[in-house]
Amino acid sequence: VRLALYGFGNVGRALARMLAATRAPFTVTALATKGHGAVVDSSGIDLPTILAGTDLPLRKAPPIASLPADVLVEMTPLDPIAGEPALTYLREAITAGMHVVTANKGPIAWAYRELDALAKKNDRMLRFEATLADCLPVFTLRRAALPLAKISAIRGIVSSTNNHILTAAAAGVPFAGALAEAQHLGIAEADPRNDLEGHDAAAKATILANVLMDADLVPEDVTREPIDERAANAARAAAQSGDRVRPVIEIARRGETVAASFGPRRLGPLDPLYAVDDFSMGLIFETDLAGRVVVQLHDPHVDQVAYAILTDLLEISAAGTMPRP
Amino acid sequence: VRLALYGFGNVGRALARMLAATRAPFTVTALATKGHGAVVDSSGIDLPTILAGTDLPLRKAPPIASLPADVLVEMTPLDPIAGEPALTYLREAITAGMHVVTANKGPIAWAYRELDALAKKNDRMLRFEATLADCLPVFTLRRAALPLAKISAIRGIVSSTNNHILTAAAAGVPFAGALAEAQHLGIAEADPRNDLEGHDAAAKATILANVLMDADLVPEDVTREPIDERAANAARAAAQSGDRVRPVIEIARRGETVAASFGPRRLGPLDPLYAVDDFSMGLIFETDLAGRVVVQLHDPHVDQVAYAILTDLLEISAAGTMPRP
């Protein structure tokens, strides 16, 4: 299976290292960076050479449709939630007969129904495990472990930065210091308001509602309360009586509609989200056939984003679907 | 896909109700009970009629190889861990060209390597999600969400009865009363020593070690400490300082070998197993590529055992593998 890697930042480089180190059945035939050019080689690019920092021969990547690849792996830098140019890349690739894997939540939050329909029409696979919470099993879990089950509600923590800030606050660290640390570690979004005001969480809640609960939300439909000084103070106070304040998304079906919210919530120790500490993430699914199922990913790093992409690629490979027409 | 249901106790009846209620693509063509006869109908058995309690026409089920079915669903009454007659049924079915799904942990704990090899040789699928912890995603999770990842350690709670006893003890309920309640609810094994002395947990730890960590254990290799009056007292004492005592299996690779144990363990609130309360179950996987992944199933009922079997059946159906030779 031939891959075109679009975007070669921290995630792209982690994926390249993982592809080089594992026996995954893939050949990278195209690679495009933001500011350091591109390379296309239908016989396969040597990833260790690229990772060592060689100059790339092309100033710009050729048009997506012309690339000798079966899958576009879309990892371009995050735009502020809205989804471009990633959305355009995904449309181009699917229309050109490529499967697509994206790490960008914008296109899925804003245009899941359109992209899903386009992929089905072209008999291509659309995968986006990394958009939600690194390699926390979400969409893979749905397909493999929750088939036919109806999900009536989802509750969870999907914002590492906010959870880190409230975890630090519980230990007495001031709000500004905890935010600065998340930024220093490269975990926070470029504009911290995307995290703190819940835009990032709202995009993720939208994806969960639309993909797993057949809703038709846009991120603005998600009610948001900020993670701020006041929430940090509440976290510190809660910790003194053994509770935690965590940044929680809540999605629930109410009759014909699905409602979603984000905000700081106080939890006791027997809540499955209590132990989702610091940069960890977790989700609780309320279902009919499977009961209440919980997944958590603890202390993830950038490798866990790359691994989510790898699991998507392995599913495409295992499906043995036809190469590009 | 044609199913032969072997065993029609609580789990078998729950599965039959689920098959009748969902649009799962299956026809039941054979059904065998322990004491109430059997029925074979290659055009499909009407499950609501059987569930209503009709007499079955055959005194005994015909030989497995003669059944007009593509999959044997093995749900015969639990023998004390050892695995017979379930193991014989599974061997017969695979050799006759059937896929097999079992809810019995005995055969998988004692003979996984043999059955796996036999299934591979006959190009048949062997599935056993329900053996571990109802529909807690374990083997589905491994295949879908943890491909290529190496699992170096597993820690978890897979014994509902023991966890219920220690949860009740933490709330001040005496040991004997909590055990009696689990038996009354039909959760405890027929012989309570299977739960309390850790035989059931040891069988499950063996399955996890052999299937997910490529070990070659038998249940006797698992070190066991009992859940008894003393553990219940420790649970009550721990609760007073905000901790919990839980029945924990621990499996870890040490060099070339894999070691496994079971016993009561004291946990603090930030341990992901702390909130796995009462009849709930949960596992923590330590992996290389995916980091630390946690799954939990809260407050399961018999329907969640049936659903685990259904997910196995759906995977067999989706694989589109050839019908019986």
Q: Do B137 and A293 touch (CB under 8 A)?
A: yes
- Confidence band, pLDDT 50/70/90 cuts, at residue B227: very high
Sequence-ordered list of residues with C-beta below 8 angstroms from that of B58, at least 6 positions apart, any chain? B37, B38, B39, B40
Chain A CB contacts of B282 below 8 Å: 294
Does A85 sit behind a cis peptide bond, omega within 30 degrees of 0 on the bond before it?
yes
Give the closest-approach CA distance of B58 to chain A in angstroms: 32
Sequence-ordered list of residues with C-beta below 8 angstroms from that of A204, at least 6 positions apart, any chain? A105, A109, A131, A132, A133, A158, A159, A249
Residue A233 has φ and ψ, to the nearest 5°, of -65, -40
Q: Is the pLDDT of residue A73 over 90?
A: yes
Tell whether A320 lies on the interface with B, counting CB pairs under 8 A: no
Quick check: A285 and A146 in contact, CB under 8 A? yes
Chain B CB contacts of A307 below 8 Å: 149, 289-290
Query: What is the overall mean pLDDT for chain A?
Result: 94
Sequence-ordered list of residues with C-beta below 8 angstroms from that of A319, at least 6 positions apart, any chain? A125
Q: Do A144 and B141 touch (CB under 8 A)?
A: yes
With H, G, I as helix, E, B as strand and everything else as coil, classify residue B27. Answer: strand
Q: What would the mean pLDDT of B318-324 be, rounded to a whole number?
A: 77
DSSP assignment, residue B135?
B
Give the closest-approach CA distance of A212 to chain B in angstroms: 17
Higher pLDDT, A255 or A242: A242
How far CA B18 is from CA of A297, B69, B125, in Å, comes to: 31, 19, 22
Chain A CB contacts of B132 below 8 Å: none
Lookup: tokens for A72: 């576009």
Tell whether B271 lies on the interface with A, counting CB pairs under 8 A: yes
CA-based nearest residue to B95, from B73, B122, B114 = B122
Chain A CB contacts of B279 below 8 Å: none
User: What pLDDT, in 10s, does the model give residues A29-53?
Assistant: 999 998 889 999 999 999 999 999 8
3-state DSSP percent of chain B in helix, strand and coil, to 5 = 40, 20, 40
Q: Which residue in the block uniquely carries the two structure tokens 């639990």?
A: B78
ipTM value: 0.96
Tell whether A275 lies on the interface with B, counting CB pairs under 8 A: yes
User: What pLDDT, in 10s, does the model give residues B84-119?
Assistant: 789 999 999 999 999 999 999 999 999 999 999 999
- Percent of chain B with pLDDT strictly greater than 90: 85
Residues of A numbered 149-168 whose beta carbons fall under 8 angstroms of chain B's beta carbons: which are they? 149
Please, what is the end-to-end C-alpha distance for chain B in angstroms? 14
Q: Is the pLDDT of residue A14 over 90?
A: yes
Q: B interface mutation test: which of A17, A246, A293 has the most B CBs within 10 A?
A: A293
Give the closest-approach CA distance of B9 to chain A in angstroms: 19
Q: Is the pLDDT of residue B45 over 90?
A: yes
User: What pLDDT, in 10s, does the model give residues B50-61?
Assistant: 999 888 999 988
At residue A270, the pLDDT reads 97
At residue B57, the pLDDT reads 92
Q: What would the mean pLDDT of B182-196 be, rounded to a whole number?
A: 82
At residue A78, the pLDDT reads 62
Q: What would the mean pLDDT of A173-188 be, rounded to a whole number?
A: 85
At residue B142, the pLDDT reads 97
Q: Do B294 and A296 touch (CB under 8 A)?
A: yes
At residue A57, the pLDDT reads 92
pTM: 0.96
Q: Is the pLDDT of residue B80 over 60?
A: no
Q: What would the mean pLDDT of B248-266 be, rounded to a whole number?
A: 96
- Confidence band, pLDDT 50/70/90 cuts, at residue A255: confident
